[in-house]
Structure 1
Amino acid sequence: MMEAEHIPEEIVANILRRLPPKSLIRCTAVSKSWRDLIFTPSFISLHLRYSPSFLLLQLCNERAHPNPSFAAVRYSLRHDDPFLSDSGSTLLLPPTALYREFSVVGVCHGLVCITAGHHCHSLVICNPSLRRYVSLPRPRHYRSLYTAAVAFSFDPLNQDYKVVRLSCMVDDERYGLSAPTVEVYSLATGFWRTLTGATPVCSLACVGKDSAHGFVDRVVHWGAQRRQDDFRWYRFVLSFDFVHEVFGEVLLPECLAYGPEDGVMVIGGREELSVYSIGGGFPSCCEIWMMMEYGVVESWNKVFSFTLKGFCLEVPAWGISVFNVTSPPVALYIRKSGEVLMLIDETGQGNLYSLDIERKRFAELGIGGEGYTWYLYSGYYAESLVLLNKVSGLVSY
């Protein structure tokens, strides 16, 4: 039999990349050469590239719990098939992150970022496949009334994972008239720092600010708005570049920028920037728009619309109606197939639907039901070997 140390490294790497992270950690005890190979950045990237990907759904049956704030959250991993069939696995997060007040806000390279509350003070970054996590130091707290939102991604230029936190003042004098305070946490340094560069005057749209964010080439996007001199709201998409740490603005079509919408949210999961608008008034019109050429306002294209009349959700173009709908549907995520995951509240039953615009299909997935109202995050997750081993305060669970 050929000695293990005589097998070419390329063949060893090709065999080992097929193993799950826990098995690979055990393999590091086989030999020094295997350990050195498994811990190299190139092998970690190779393993992640071939690791199977699942769709992560955050589910919570809060109405079945006597205290909804303590209702357990289940992070279900689903096969990316037409019916999102259950893989039988759930994401194993740190015990403190399994209550309703906590929510996943980002997944990157197998690392998961979790936060809690309107101020996003409690933040955790973990690798569920290795069951390791680090609690981030608390960011700043402000005396005035404010809300905060965070995003999580990787900076390939500096080989660093970062969290950005935007704090928007919402008191009567500053709401929509001041720039958010921006802090960036670096996993490499373990510290928060306040950005002093130019940040656009705005507040983040309340609708969808906690949902999976839209990324285009390491640039994250939020629905945003600002008040003008005539106190009309002007809506746009706020962007942040994780590499260069600069903000930008992406213009919306005029009908959305100055329209009567209750909110414009960015939908994550697609390379093309996509937004979902929820119209005010009666009947309420909800629309999905996609930007075919990034940054070119003329390339926005309305690809779909719903109409909510009373308690009836209608898809006029397809002749479809859904009854007993108590609020406008929420667009959660766009899958690799192009199908849009929609959450619809049908008289207290939170149900997931799949919207296939290309094939003109709108189907209930059979996920959710009575009491299921907590679906803030959905996105793709794959196990990884990102070790977090150079981070201070690392905890195993």
Structure 2
Amino acid sequence: MSDHFPQEILISILLRLSPKSLIKCTCVSKSWYSLITNPSFISNHLHHSSTNNPSFLLIQFCNEFSHPNPSLAPVFYSLRRDNHPLLLDSAATLSLPSGFNREFSVMGICNGVICITSGSQCLTLIICNPCVRRYVTLPKPRDYCSLYSASVGFGFDSENNDYKVVRICSMLDDDRFELCAPEVEVYSLATGFWRNSSNLPPVCSLCYVGSYAPHGFINGVIHWGAKRRTGSYNDNGWYHFVLSFNFENETFGEVLLPQSLASVSSDSVTVIGGGAGGGKCLTVYRVSAGSPCSCNIWVMKEYGVVDSWNKVFSFDLRGFNLEVPSLGITVTGVTAPPAALCIRNSGEVLLLMDEAGKGCLYSLDIKGKRFIDLQIGGEGYTWYLYSGYYRESLVFLNKASGMIAY
């Protein structure tokens, strides 16, 4: 029947189908298979899908009451349609290759492709597209003799049509401790190799993000909260800033914070990522040390302009009470400062609250001045690993070398 359609009309029709429907269409004929697996078609379908098809909020969590042995409780990947304030509509459960245990966590999502790693040193890394059910295990990156911590960023180099992983390692227990630039390696999916980066970041250490939240992406550039010492080790003086990495030219940069954030001592300043499009404004989350503990959300309205930073929300943790003065709300039984997981498409901030050992999700509507208990989590849901946006794609459908089907 396709012989009766002009090629451009057939392509226009196929571009409107979902990735899973298109995978079935590859079985129709050799010509359809050749068309759908063509890199140009995959790229065009990705662009069409990003502007016309919905994305899903991926929530990765563990329910320790779901298994007789809590230490072996499986990790779940729930996809939620973000068209309801309470995230009531659950679309599906994401299917990843078997064998991933609770030590593995999603560290990044780009164009429907997911980067997964485990451990504080990120030595085991997997890139996977659950929609086409293909994945590749990356070769081991460099391991160091000294104690170190590692952070991983995952993104797409549009100029070279290549997916890349950047791994930043900070030495912790030798004479270089926080006194030298971190070691950096970049993995290219196109070449299949790690290589040392010729462009090094400034002397700094990355603020702890853990596996809770996506990194902040603005115009294809990834961001981390970072800090460097301003005096001797015993002075405990720190200067905070935002470290950026461009996947196209593989260069690092710095985004300055307002002085009230940059000069804090042992406070935590991290970047909040999210949004299906990667986010439009750079947003940071500051948690102060001491008691009471103050938590603030800052937004940079004009990228790169220090004067455009604006504190948009504040709340305090006093004892075991989380107080939101601007809303007149108090949440009792909160045992730790909330973790800012991600920014939703609506602009609301997804927060993880530890209420007497129970992991509960809240949505903070800054503009509407609402603090919403999403009723997700609670008893048994002791920890969440990642929250970010996922969209199905055909990426990897035409890849055979190094890819494993599951």
**TM-score interval, normalised by the smaller of the two chains:** over 0.9
Q: Does structure 1 conserve the Cα–Cα contact (< 8 Å) formed by 2:37 and 2:398?
A: no
The letter of the residue matching 2:121 is H
Q: Does structure 1 conserve the Cα–Cα contact (< 8 Å) formed by 2:105 and 2:211?
A: no
SS at match of 1:96: coil
In structure 1, distance between residues paired with 2:365 and 2:77: 24
Give the alignment of 1:92-131 within 5 angstroms.
92-97=95-100, 99-131=101-133
Q: Does structure 2 conserve the Cα–Cα contact (< 8 Å) formed by 1:208 and 1:266?
A: no
Q: Does structure 1 conserve the Cα–Cα contact (< 8 Å) formed by 2:224 and 2:242?
A: yes
Q: 1:273 aligns with which of 282, 286, 289?
A: 282
In structure 2, distance between residues paired with 1:334 and 1:127: 23
Deviates more, 1:278-287 or 1:62-71: 62-71
Residue identity over aligned pairs, in percent, reads: 62
TM-score (norm 2): 0.92
Give the alignment of 1:27-42 within 5 angstroms.
27-42=25-40
Q: Does structure 1 conserve the Cα–Cα contact (< 8 Å) formed by 2:299 and 2:310?
A: yes
Q: 2:246 aligns with which of 241, 246, 250?
A: 241
The letter of the residue matching 1:323 is T
Deviates more, 1:363-372 or 1:259-268: 259-268
The letter of the residue matching 1:359 is G
- Cα distance per residue 1:91-121 (max 9 Å; x no partner): 1111122x22111011111111100000101
- Cα distance per residue 1:155-195 (max 9 Å; x no partner): 01111000000011112643322211000000000000011
- Cα distance per residue 1:210-261 (max 9 Å; x no partner): 5200011111000111112344111111100000000011111111111145
SS at match of 1:77: strand
The letter of the residue matching 1:356 is D
- In structure 1, list runs of 5 or more residues that go unmatched: none
SS at match of 1:375: strand
In structure 1, distance between residues paired with 2:191 and 2:263: 42
SS at match of 1:12: helix
- In structure 2, list runs of 5 or more residues that go unmatched: none
Tell me whether 1:343 sits opposite 2:352 in the alignment. Answer: yes
In structure 1, distance between residues paired with 2:65 and 2:355: 14
The letter of the residue matching 1:228 is T
Q: Which residue of 2 aligns with 1:375?
A: 384
Deviates more, 1:233-242 or 1:63-72: 63-72
In structure 1, distance between residues paired with 2:32 and 2:315: 55
Q: Which residue of 2 aligns with 1:84?
A: 87
Deviates more, 1:163-172 or 1:107-116: 163-172
Q: Does structure 2 conserve the Cα–Cα contact (< 8 Å) formed by 1:68 and 1:100?
A: no
Please report the RMSD computed on the Cα atoms of aligned residues, expressed in angstroms. 1.8
In structure 2, distance between residues paired with 1:121 and 1:392: 22
The letter of the residue matching 2:344 is R
**Cα gap change, 1:66 to 1:179, in 2 (>3 Å):** farther
SS at match of 1:332: strand
Deviates more, 1:273-282 or 1:259-268: 259-268
Size of the aligned set, in residue pairs, is 394
What displacement does 1:31 show?
2.9
Give the alignment of 1:1-397 within 5 angstroms.
3-48=1-46, 49-50=48-49, 51-62=53-64, 65=67, 67-80=69-82, 81-97=84-100, 99-171=101-173, 173-208=175-210, 211-230=213-232, 231=235, 232-269=237-274, 270-387=279-396, 389-390=398-399, 392-397=401-406
In structure 1, distance between residues paired with 2:356 and 2:297: 24
SS at match of 1:47: helix
What displacement does 1:374 show?
2.4
In structure 2, distance between residues paired with 1:233 and 1:5: 68
What displacement does 1:67 show?
5.0
- Cα distance per residue 1:48-84 (max 9 Å; x no partner): 3334311100111236556555321101000102111
The letter of the residue matching 1:91 is L
